[in-house]
Amino acid sequence: MKVSDVMTSTVDWAGSKTSVADAARLMKKDDVGSIPICDNGKVVGMITDRDIVLNVVAAGKDYNTTLVQEIMSKNIVSVSSNQDVHEAADLMSQYQIRRLPVVDQGKLVGILAIGDLAIERIHVNEAGDALSDISRGAHQNMN
């Protein structure tokens, strides 16, 4: 099964010069914890609700004037829509991430979340293993 079979193809994104406040509003509207950051259709970063809390709120910065490019993750792991979902699950586990931008020919075409893998019965164990690895890594990083 390919990533295109389970990914979400309608994805809101923000430009790198978007304020953190506007990115947070997108997250709230979509009920998600991360937003891809794109310039000219190309994914240049990701911003999470955790990035906002730790790098803006806890740091005492103004979320209306802080731009997402100042706090976004720039080393982005992505997949193509033609990639096998097993490979995507392996990447999620290896890099301890819950969401992968789906990029074809350099352009954002969707997002693949760990939950998308769990929906497909044949991938429940794989998604569970990936989530376990992700959670284990997050727990180790807190110690």
**Mean per-residue pLDDT over the chain, rounded:** 86
Task: Supply the Cα-derived Rg of the chain in whole angstroms.
Answer: 15
Whole-model pTM: value is 0.80
Beta strand 34-39 pairing with 42-48:
antiparallel
Is 39 a residue whose pLDDT tops 80?
Answer: yes
**Residue 136 and residue 143: Cα distance in Å, rounded?**
11
Please tell me whether residue 35 adopts helix, strand or coil conformation. strand
Sequence-separated contacts (24+) of 85-89 with Cβ below 8 Å: 85/1, 85/2, 85/3, 85/5, 85/6, 85/112, 85/117, 85/120, 85/123, 85/126, 86/123, 86/126, 88/3, 88/112, 88/117, 89/117, 89/123, 89/126, 89/127, 89/129, 89/130
Above 70 in pLDDT, residue 18?
Answer: yes
Which residue would you say has higher pLDDT here, 138 or 104?
104
Q: pLDDT for 89-116, tens place per residue? A: 889 888 888 899 999 999 999 999 988 8
For the residues 40-51, what does the mean pLDDT come to?
94
State the pLDDT confidence band at 131, using cuts at 50, 70 and 90.
low
Residues 65-92: tens digit of each pLDDT:
999 999 999 999 999 999 999 899 889 8
Percent of the chain at pLDDT exceeding 70: 83
Residue 141, pLDDT above cutoff 70: no
Strand locations in the chain (E): 34-39, 42-48, 99-104, 107-113
- Whether 130 shows a pLDDT value over 60: the answer reads no
Distance CA 42, CA 103 (A): 8
Go through the domains of the chain in sequence order and give each one's CATH number.
Answer: 3-142 (3.10.580.10)
